[in-house]
Amino acid sequence: MKLNTKLREQLKIPLGVLVEEKHTTKENILGHISESSYVITVGDATTEKMLNFGIVPSLQIVDGLEKRSKRQPPKSNATKMHCHNPPAQITEESIRTIKQAYASAPPTQILVTGEEDLLVIPACIYAPDNSVVLYGQPNEGLVIVQVTNEIRNKTKKLLQSME
């Protein structure tokens, strides 16, 4: 499934609470996450930031890129899984891998060959109850999404509107 121009604009709107970069502290983040939350991070910088704060995400989706520049994926003791997901797309393989990760014992890290940005969408759709998805909003900060039925429905519509 490929991203279209109309959807590209829609995705610039955060799915959850935007915490400005200067306010992205461990305390602020923990204010949005309960101890029993299933924490999902999408993005290398976001995952690394959580790990540095001592927050170990249950699912970490990374691609070894930050703002399109190569970098080392965050070091984590998580079980590793792999998938291919080209830029501006969501592949069936990546969706299967996310579902498989949810069925595995956490923590799990999915290493994406390609680009992980749009995988926020299936991460929200298939997330277990009581999940929180964290992802970076470029040059703005961190988005914290409490996964609710409303968010699942919204992300399903986004996925269905892809070509």
Q: Tokens 């121009």 map to which residue?
A: 5
Q: What are the DSSP calls for 53-84, one per residue? A: TT---SEEEE-SEETTEE-PPPP--SEEEEEE
37, 44 contact by CB (below 8 A) = no
CA 85, CA 94: separation in Å to the nearest integer? Answer: 6
DSSP letter at 15?
Answer: S
81, 109 contact by CB (below 8 A) = yes
> Does residue 150 have a known ligand-binding role?
no
Residues in the chain, how many? 163
Residues 146-153: contacts with CB within 8 Å, 24+ apart? 146/16, 146/32, 151/15, 151/16, 151/124, 152/124, 152/125, 152/127
> Does residue 140 have a known ligand-binding role?
no
> Does residue 63 have a known ligand-binding role?
yes
Question: Residues annotated as binding site?
Answer: 44, 63, 116
Question: Residues annotated as binding site for GTP?
Answer: 44, 63, 116
